[in-house]
Amino acid sequence: MSRLRFLTRRALFALFATYLVVSITFGFIALTADPQLAVVAYGAAQAPPGEYYNQSEAAEQVNEAVSAYEEAYNLDEPVEKRYVTWLVNVATFDWGESLHRDRAVVAMVGEAVPKTAAYVLPAMLLSLVGGISAGVFAAYRRRSAGDYLVTGLGYLAFSVPNFLLGGLALLGLALLTAAEGRPGLPLPTEVRTVVLPALVLGGSLFAGQLRHARSEALEHFGEAFVKLLRAKGAGPVRVARHVLKNAAIPLVSLFFAELLAVLVVNIYVLEQVFRIQGLGSLSLWAIGERDLPVVLGTTMVLVFVGIAGNFLQDVAYAFLDPRVEEER
């Protein structure tokens, strides 16, 4: 099939996956009890100071409060009408308001996402460029001192948990400022919220890319085309470039798969360690406060990022593999 047809099919599949996630989310909301109803009912049942309700008055007060809540959030409408409204609201980014902060969920998510992206994007670049380069170098210098040094550092970075790396980074800077006679000096915001978390997250992703790149490159360094290149006098850079072309497809696939798996867990840890008010912190706050609209908003963002990541993987695959043009 042509490249355009392949990408069109993958884009349609991404849209279908998005629609499926949104529908499942609606089913979760529509078919389960709303925990906020219990809060509303409990608050309505409490008499103001100095006043007393009999049982019938209290029941009537609760029913009125529950009815007002259901009307405000369209819970009194038929399920199919609520489903259509839900799809429209998600598509138009009308995700409701927070139950505790009286703010639009989209506005809260819009403030949190750039703070998370500020350290995630540099970490991705560091891991992709640095990890693959180091992995190919280690494979080219197999069983040399450089190979052992690079792979040893990679396994060390991969084995140490991110919360420990983050804590050690903060401790190291504190000791450095104390040694310079400036104990208690506050860190610049950019260092604490961008540089350090990017290095910690990039270290974990770097280690994974290094292992994959070294393994894939080793499979190609022994092939006939590499021997032919060396026989023609090709230098290390040219040989590595040809090896990287052949190993690019599995490396891209592994990069996106590992990236999404690592990010979903690590952003929660890193943002707690470095006190970053990003998407992970917002999601944890919403879970702790049982703020369902914010929980759903942050969850949908993570799901959309996963779907977009898979689509970008398909795009990269289409441009890296010329056989896509030849498939029928």
**First and final C-alpha spacing in the chain:** 5
Q: Which CATH code fits 105-325? A: 1.10.3720.10
Q: How many other CB atoms are found less than 10 A from the CB of residue 130?
A: 16
Closest CA to 300 of 58, 19, 62, 47: 19
pLDDT at 328: 44
Residues of the chain with CATH 1.10.3720.10: 105-325
What percent of the residues of the chain are helix, what percent strand, and what percent coil, each to the nearest 5?
Answer: 80, 0, 20
Distance from C-alpha of 237 to C-alpha of 327, rounded to nearest angstrom: 32
Cα dihedral 268, 111, 130, 214, rounded to 10, equals 40
Tell me the average pLDDT across 212-239. 77
pLDDT at 55: 66
Amino acid of residue 156: L
Which of 37-41, 71-75, 106-110, 213-217: highest mean pLDDT?
106-110
Residue 184 has pLDDT above 70, yes or no: no
Structure-model confidence comparison of residues 251 and 58, the more confident one: 251
- Note the pLDDT tens digit of each residue in 95-134: 888 877 888 999 999 999 999 999 988 988 888 888 888 8
